[in-house]
Each structure stands twice: as C-alpha cells, then as structure tokens.
Amino acid sequence: MASSPEKTATATPRRKVGRHRGEGQWAMGHHTPLNGNEQLKKDDDSLNVRTRIETIYSKRGFDSIDPNDLRGRMRWWGLYTQRKPGIDGGKTGALEPEELEDKFFMMRTRIDGGRLTTAQLRAIGEVSQQYARGSADITDRQNVQMHWVRIEDVPAIWEKLEAVGLSTTEACGDCPRTMIGSPVAGIAADEIIDGTPALEEIHARHIGSKEFSNLPRKFKTAISGSPVQDVVHEINDISFVGVVHPEHGPGFDLWVGGGLSTNPRLAERLGAWVPLDEVPDVWAAVTSLFRDYGYRRLRNRARLKFLVADWGVAKFRQVLEDEFLRRPLLDGPAPEEPVSRWRDHVGVHPQRDGRFYVGFAPRVGRLDGTALTKIAELAEEHGSHRVRTTVEQKMIILDVEQDRVDSLSAGLEALGLQVKPSTFRRGTMACTGIEFCKLAIVDTKGRGASLIEELERRLPDFDEPLTININGCPNACARIQTADIGLKGQLMLDADGNSVEGFQVHLGGALGLDAGFGRKVRGLKVTSEELPDYVERVIGHYLEEREENER
Ligand code: SF4
C-alpha cells in the first residue's frame, strides 16, 4: 500500500503567528539578532573558528578558548565539550556549563551516506587510538563519534582525517549536518535508484560554504532509493525517497519538515517528483527557503518543521517554486510502503553484481579504535575495500564474494560483532548518555548493553522485529518516539523512596510501516534496575494478546 500525505499528518496543531512580533525571519526584514545564538552567528561566521583553533587555541590550550567559540562556533567543526566524569544526573541543569564540562571534547566525524573506504575506517580507528583514548561510537546519523579529544590535538586529527578524504566540517551546528544516505546505495539488488551522485554533488557544492553556514538551526537531510527506506526520512528536515514515476521512471519523492525533540513531527510530502540530476538544485532551494524564512526568534521554534506546520505543504511548495526554484516541480506519486520492518541491512544480502554485503551489529553502536582497525583489516582480507554505517548504529561490509562470506562472518563473530544478532541486540539503540553528554540525566550505553544481555538470556527464542530506543534526557537523540519501546531517561523514586535512574516509557512508535509516534504511557516510569522485568512483561503481553499479524 502506498503511503499518503494524510498518513503522515502533523501531530502539531497549527499555531497563529503574531504578525507584528514576527519570528525573526530574514525574508520578512528581521535582521537584528533576537537571541544570543543569532548574535553569535552574526558576529562571526562560525566556520571561521577553524583558523583560531589552528593558530591560537591548539597552541595555548583549553583555557584560551573564547566561550562563544567553546560552546557555540566549535560545533560547526564537530566539536562539543564533554561532561566531567562523576557528576550525577541530578546536577544536570543545576550547574553552570563550566562546572559541568570537562576540558576534553567530543568529536564527530562527518560520514555522508555512511560511506567509508577501509582506508578511511582505519584512519578513524588510528585517530581514536592515538587521540581519543580508543573511543568510537557509531551514531544514529551514520557518523563516528569520539571522546576525550584535547584541543591541542585537533589540527593533527584534521590532518589525518583530511588526508583520506574525511572531515568534521559542519558535523554539528546550525548548518547542513551529515546527510544520511542509504548504506547500500549503488549496490543493492533491489534498489529503485542510487542517490549517491546527488549526495556527492550537494557535498561538493555546499558543505563548508558560507552560503548555508548560518541557518536558523540544524538542518538534516536524508536520501534513499532503497525499497526498505533505510534513512528515517520521516524525521529529517528534507528527504528524497526513491519512487518510480509512471511516465518519467525512477526519481525521488520530496518530503519536508520532519523532526523529533520539541513538538515531534513527521515529515510531509510535497507531492513533487524530482529526477536525480535535479536533486542538488531542489535541496539548495529548500535550504535557502529555510535560511530566509525559518524562524530565528526562539531556538525551540527554529526548526523547519514549525514553518511547514504554520504554512502547510501547499504554501511551502508554492513559495519554493516561485521564489527559490523559479519553476514548477513535477507532480509525482507516493513511495510504496517499505518492504520490511527491519531497515538496518544486518545479515548477508545479495548485491546486484553477484557479490554480497554483510551487515553486523555492535551493541548500541559502541565500538573502539582497535575494533575499527580490525574491521578494516578483516574486510580487506576478504577482498572488500568498502564499509558502511547505518542509522541503526550498525555497520556493513560490501563487495564480498560468495565463497568468502562464511569466513568473514566468522571473523566478525570472533570480534564480538554478530551477523545474526538476537532481536534485542539488533533492535536496541542508545544515545551518548551520562558518560559524556552534558545534558544527560541517566546512563544509556551501559544500561542498553546490560538490557540486551539480560533479555537474550531470558527470551532466547523471541525473534520478531522489536525496537528499544534509550535516551539519557528529554531530548530525542536516540529517536525514542519512533521505537516500539521508547525510554526517556529521568530521575525517579524507587520503592524505598530513594532517587534513582529510571525511564519514562513511550510505547508503539514506528517508522516505515505504520509510521507514527509512540504514546507516552501516563504515569509509567520504570527504574533502570526494573527495566529487564518491564520489557519482558511487555513482550509477554504482546505475545499473549496480539491479533493475527499485529506488529
Ligand atoms: Fe545527550 Fe539527551 Fe541527546 Fe542523550 S538524548 S545524547 S542525553 S542530549
């Protein structure tokens, strides 16, 4: 069944904008910065901070960094300060930033489309071992995130990454973040269309360019021509989803305005079909529209989804065509429903060239520098020079001859990376959490890993698709609203009245088939200790009471 605009209708009620107050939109003449973030971006283009890092901060050390660069502009180069170890979740929000932060950085490497050569993967592994105490997590936007980075080492890290064609440019900040792409683009036997040329063209033209380095807020892009729709297109600011036009053939269906966090909202279709070679122009037009009409007065209303909610898709498309593209878009059909619930490509799958790709599952995206290096070696030993990261915090090795698949799978298993993981390992994701994140209230990675282990022990035969997403705070980095079981970290009282780590539960969310947000179960909070019991009970009820084919 095809999806439709009605199916993805907004969860956010339309809101009337006070005409005289304005929302700080540049196109409406509001160029005076209306908050500290806008002022900071106006004072100096955030990309310029690179020069100061190279010439001043890396030489004089952490204490020499201007606070506006430290907690603002450095994000444009993938750098955030990380949480000081040992500060409990109860103090988050109560402490000043300088009390909460360590003198080390989290560094995000930009990996558009999750596309890596083995040489690039090895370089990240070596950077992790040399400069980041071995840390390396796969994020839910196909990046690799490292921790414990010293400002003194940043120029050397850039040199090493850039030597193999990688960068940290605009990996964070109010700019076009890492663009998600189908990790099996160009190779999958069942692909509708390969979006890679468009992804590369957008990167070459616009990433690191000052044209889009001051957007109202972060801007997330996704593109996939896979029939499993493997890029969570429903929750990106702009998405291109593979579809076959009855007259013009394969191309992309254009979606805008998705996002989680405050007022989660599923993206909506503009009803327009875009051929591959026009994707970069249409992307630039939508990004320009966001830059000029996006709301800048309040940070929590500055995502594209609020503009789409207020305008509606008809006006959005009209303004896009009239003012930015200066031509009409072609109408087009909706994509088909995705062909499966798992969209992570874990397991062994045929490529269109007769070889195979092998997807495997680290626990909650956690790897380390040594493991990355070993994965690169293992791939090369089996004739492959290409790997991919996925939005489910998984990885894939491409281009494996059939007679090498078993040996590769065994090699991965020996590294603790399963090609046939349990449902629980496959379906559980966790954000960074209290280990490194300054906003976190609870532990997520460690809790997720122990939950997986415990559920594997208790329910060894359960093998249906199930997603468990764990966030360390009310933000949505691990997409809790879109999981079967979404867990939002908070402190709570246990049975003895002690303040302990726990989670607010959201149930029944999904992307792809039956896309929609999970419902917050009123009053249902579970302590971290009780989590395995709780999930076991939910699965038990589901198995007992489900109707035929109910997911
Ligand atoms: Fe940090 Fe919260 Fe995001 Fe987790 S969800 S990474 S705790 S901001």
Query: Pick from 227, 214, 187: which is nearest to 340 by CA?
Result: 227
Give the number of the atom of ligand 1 that is nearest the alpha carbon of residue 475: 5
Residue 510 reports pLDDT greater than 80: yes
Give the number of the atom of ligand 1 that is nearest the alpha carbon of residue 442: 7
User: What ipTM goes with this model?
Assistant: 0.99
Query: Where would I find the beta strands (DSSP E) of 309-415?
Result: 330-331, 347-350, 356-360, 366-368, 386-389, 395-400
User: What is the structure's pLDDT at 340?
Assistant: 79
For residue 379, report the distance from its CA to the centre of ligand 1, in Å: 32
β-bridge pairing 249-256 and 499-507: unpaired
Given a contact cutoff of 8 angstroms between Cβ atoms, the answer to whether 349 and 188 are in contact is yes
What digits encode the pLDDT tens for the residues 362-401?
999 999 999 999 999 999 999 999 999 999 999 999 999 9
From 177, 432, 490, 506, mutation site for ligand 1 pocket: most ligand atoms within 8 A of C-beta? 432
For residue 321, report the distance from its CA to the centre of ligand 1, in Å: 37
Residue 12 reports pLDDT greater than 80: no
- Answer yes or no: is the C-beta of 477 below 6 A from any ligand 1 atom: yes
Read off the pLDDT of each residue in 60-64 and give the average, rounded to a whole number: 97
pLDDT band for position 18 (50/70/90)?
very low
One-letter amino acid of 494: D
Read off the pLDDT of each residue in 516-525 and give the average, rounded to a whole number: 84
For residue 430, report the distance from its CA to the centre of ligand 1, in Å: 9
Average model confidence (pLDDT) across the chain: 93
Residue 26 reports pLDDT greater than 60: yes
- Answer yes or no: is the C-beta of 450 below 6 A from any ligand 1 atom: no
pLDDT band for position 203 (50/70/90)?
very high
What digits encode the pLDDT tens for the residues 445-502?
999 999 999 999 999 999 999 999 999 999 989 999 999 999 999 999 988 999 999 9
Residue 336 reports pLDDT greater than 70: yes
What digits encode the pLDDT tens for the residues 528-543?
999 999 999 999 998 8
For residue 119, report the distance from its CA to the centre of ligand 1, in Å: 31
User: What is the structure's pLDDT at 11?
Assistant: 39
What digits encode the pLDDT tens for the residues 78-95?
999 999 999 989 899 889
Read off the pLDDT of each residue in 62-83 and give the average, rounded to a whole number: 97
What digits encode the pLDDT tens for the residues 204-243?
999 999 999 999 999 999 999 999 999 999 999 999 999 9
Given a contact cutoff of 8 angstroms between Cβ atoms, the answer to whether 78 and 168 are in contact is yes
Residue 2 reports pLDDT greater than 50: no
Tell me the C-alpha to C-alpha distance, in Å, between residue 464 and each of 117, 545, 548. 33, 15, 14
Read off the pLDDT of each residue in 436-448 and give the average, rounded to a whole number: 95
Q: Which residues touch 195 (CB under 8 Å, ≥6 apart)?
A: 113, 181, 182, 185, 223, 224, 225, 240, 242, 252, 276, 279
Q: SS3 for 436-462, per residue? A: CCCCCCCCCHHHHHHHHHHHHHHCCCC
For residue 441, report the distance from its CA to the centre of ligand 1, in Å: 9
User: What is the structure's pLDDT at 519?
Assistant: 86
Read off the pLDDT of each residue in 400-404 and give the average, rounded to a whole number: 98
For residue 488, report the distance from its CA to the centre of ligand 1, in Å: 10
Read off the pLDDT of each residue in 277-302 and give the average, rounded to a whole number: 97
User: What is the structure's pLDDT at 98?
Assistant: 86
State percent of the chain over pLDDT 90: 84
User: What is the structure's pLDDT at 513?
Assistant: 73
Residue 348 reports pLDDT greater than 50: yes
Give the number of the atom of ligand 1 that is nearest the alpha carbon of residue 441: 7
Which segments of 271-319 does DSSP mark as H helices, in order? 279-293, 304-311, 313-319
User: What is the structure's pLDDT at 456?
Assistant: 97
Q: Name the closest-CA residue to atom 3, ligand 1.
A: 477
Given a contact cutoff of 8 angstroms between Cβ atoms, the answer to whether 477 and 308 are in contact is no
- Answer yes or no: is the C-beta of 432 below 6 A from any ligand 1 atom: yes
Residue 323's beta-bridge partner residues?
Answer: none
- Answer yes or no: is the C-beta of 260 below 6 A from any ligand 1 atom: no
Q: Which residues touch 521 (CB under 8 Å, ≥6 apart)?
A: 505, 506, 507
Give the number of the atom of ligand 1 that is nearest the alpha carbon of residue 478: 5
User: What is the structure's pLDDT at 548?
Assistant: 72
Question: Which tokens sit at 463?
Answer: 């093998």
Residue 515 reports pLDDT greater than 90: no
- Whole-angstrom distance, CA of residue 213 vs CA of residue 170: 8
Residue 520 reports pLDDT greater than 90: no
What digits encode the pLDDT tens for the residues 134-173?
999 999 999 999 999 999 999 999 999 999 999 999 999 9
User: What is the structure's pLDDT at 21?
Assistant: 62
